[in-house]
């Protein structure tokens, strides 16, 4: 049986041994994996860890503030790097999902490399978990946090990678999070893809389209917060639909609402969301986001669908 307390003590010892008096950087997104890593590292090396929130312009509303407040409350060394323009420039004109991932990943690592240089760090901490390694080895999807796969040799940057969670699975990471005393908004946080809302904007990822997606996401998350789901999302379609606004034909955006149950994201089942909840989401989205004229619900399990649309 997995024993989180023992795991924590062992990791703290191992990290101290590996890092000595070196300096480490972690890109912390607020996800349970990177947050647990950051807190473990802080226990092990204190201020010699810098937790960096890279604001890529693709996060949900209020996410940067929530994550930084959490670190500051714990007196951790944390900073926000505003890189939204760089990410939007890199994503400009790209439609193809894996191309988007590639552009995101390249920008992510170029921003991170800059931060590592600025901080004079010699260790880069990554929240890689066992499932990331497995899915990448199987070639199911390129996860942005697997350096070897994208041909980056950290040593050529004078960097050593630290991956405290590489051996454990998500449910165990959550046990560690609870043992470390993380509040439920972090320990129980649903997965959110590394490339953020870019994963849920089909077609071109522009600031305007991401903002529509962000507002729809906020509504879907708020209206489904008491429904048990592994993930709950809004997705902005690439096509537009004919609708009616102010008595005239209007060509507007389409939002798909998707809630899935899953244990490990390998398979997933569409959630049977009550009709009145769906109608409330529909009403709110089409009223509060006038650019949207049509809301759909996604019925398909994984497989044959995936959880995200791209």
* Closer residue to ligand XMP in complex, CB, 213/282: 213
Q: Is 11 in the site for ligand XMP (CB under 6 A)?
A: no
| Number of residues this chain uses to bind ligand XMP (CB under 6 A) | 15
In degrees, to the nearest 5, what angle opens at C-alpha 71 toward C-alphas 67 and 76?
150
How many other C-beta atoms are found inside a 10 Å radius of the C-beta of residue 293?
21
Q: Is 302 in the site for ligand XMP (CB under 6 A)?
A: yes
Stretch that binds ligand XMP, among 151-159, 167-175, 189-197, 278-286 (CB under 6 A): 189-197
* Closer residue to ligand XMP in complex, CB, 224/231: 231
Q: Is 261 in the site for ligand XMP (CB under 6 A)?
A: no
Among 101, 174, 200, 214, the residue binding ligand XMP under the rule CB under 6 A is: 101
Among 42, 144, 170, 214, the residue binding ligand XMP under the rule CB under 6 A is: 144
Structure tokens at 66: 């929530």
Q: Is 34 in the site for ligand XMP (CB under 6 A)?
A: no
Q: Is 306 in the site for ligand XMP (CB under 6 A)?
A: yes
* Closer residue to ligand XMP in complex, CB, 64/103: 103
- 3-state SS, one letter per residue, for the chain: CCCHHHHHHHHHHHHHHHHCCCCEEEECCCCHHHHHHHHHHHHHHHHHEEEEEEECCCCCCCHHHHHHHHHHHCCCCEEEEECHHHHHHHHCCCCCHHHHHHHHHHHHHHHHHHHHHHCCCCEEECCCCHHHHHHHHCCCCCCCCCCHHHCCCHHHHCCEEECCCCCCCHHHHHHHHHHCCCCHHHHCCCCCCCCHHHHHECCCCCHHHHHHHHHHHHHHHHHCCCCCCCEEEEEEEEEEEEEEECCEEEEEEEEEEEEEECCCCCCEEECCCCHHHHHHHHHHHHHHCCCEEEEEECCCCECCCCCCCC
Stretch that binds ligand XMP, among 10-18, 115-123, 287-295, 301-309 (CB under 6 A): 301-309
Q: Is 194 in the site for ligand XMP (CB under 6 A)?
A: yes
Q: Is 97 in the site for ligand XMP (CB under 6 A)?
A: no
Q: Is 141 in the site for ligand XMP (CB under 6 A)?
A: yes
Among 191, 203, 243, 290, the residue binding ligand XMP under the rule CB under 6 A is: 191
Question: Which residues are within 8 A (CB) of 120 and not within 5 positions of it... i.e. 6 or more apart?
Answer: 23
* Closer residue to ligand XMP in complex, CB, 137/244: 137
Among 126, 128, 143, 286, the residue binding ligand XMP under the rule CB under 6 A is: 143
* Closer residue to ligand XMP in complex, CB, 101/284: 101
Q: What is the largest CA-CA distance in the chain?
A: 69
Stretch that binds ligand XMP, among 65-73, 117-125, 192-200, 208-216 (CB under 6 A): 192-200
Q: Is 286 in the site for ligand XMP (CB under 6 A)?
A: no
Structure tokens at 150: 């994208």
Among 44, 220, 234, 307, the residue binding ligand XMP under the rule CB under 6 A is: 307
Distance CA 178, CA 169 (A): 15
Contact pattern from residue 209 through residue 238 relative to ligand XMP, giving x for each residue in contact according to CB under 6 A and a dash for the rest: ----------------------x-------
Q: Under the rule (CB under 6 A), what is the footprint of ligand XMP?
A: 101, 141, 143-144, 191, 193-195, 199, 231, 265, 302, 306-308
């Amino acid at each position: 049986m997995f024993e989180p307390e023992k795991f924590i003590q062992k990791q703290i010892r191992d990290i101290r041994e590996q890092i000595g008096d070196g300096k480490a950087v972690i890109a912390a997104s607020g996800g349970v994996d990177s947050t647990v890593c950051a807190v473990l590292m802080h226990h092990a090396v204190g201020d010699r860890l810098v937790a960096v929130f890279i604001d890529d312009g693709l996060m949900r509303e209020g996410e940067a503030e929530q994550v930084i407040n959490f670190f500051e409350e714990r007196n951790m060394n944390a900073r926000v790097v505003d890189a939204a323009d760089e990410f939007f420039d890199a994503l400009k004109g790209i439609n193809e999902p894996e191309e988007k991932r590639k552009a995101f990943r390249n920008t992510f690592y170029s921003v991170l490399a800059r931060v590592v240089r600025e901080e004079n760090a010699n260790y880069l901490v990554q929240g890689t978990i066992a499932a990331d390694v497995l899915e990448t080895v199987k070639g199911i999807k390129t996860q942005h946090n697997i350096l070897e796969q994208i041909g980056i040799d950290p040593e050529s940057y004078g960097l050593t990678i630290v991956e405290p969670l590489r051996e454990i699975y998500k449910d165990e990471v959550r046990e560690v999070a609870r043992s470390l005393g993380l509040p439920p908004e972090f320990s129980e946080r649903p997965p959110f893809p590394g490339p953020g809302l870019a994963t849920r904007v089909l077609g071109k990822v522009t600031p305007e389209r991401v903002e529509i997606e962000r507002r729809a996401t906020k509504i879907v998350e708020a209206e489904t917060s008491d429904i048990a789901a592994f993930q709950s999302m809004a997705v902005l379609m690439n096509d537009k639909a004919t609708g009616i606004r102010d008595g005239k034909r209007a060509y507007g955006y389409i939002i798909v609402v998707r809630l899935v149950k899953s244990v490990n994201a390998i398979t997933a089942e569409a959630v049977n969301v009550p009709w009145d909840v769906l109608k409330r989401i529909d009403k709110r989205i089409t009223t509060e986001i006038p650019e949207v004229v049509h809301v759909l619900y996604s019925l398909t399990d994984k497989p044959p669908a995936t959880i995200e649309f791209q």
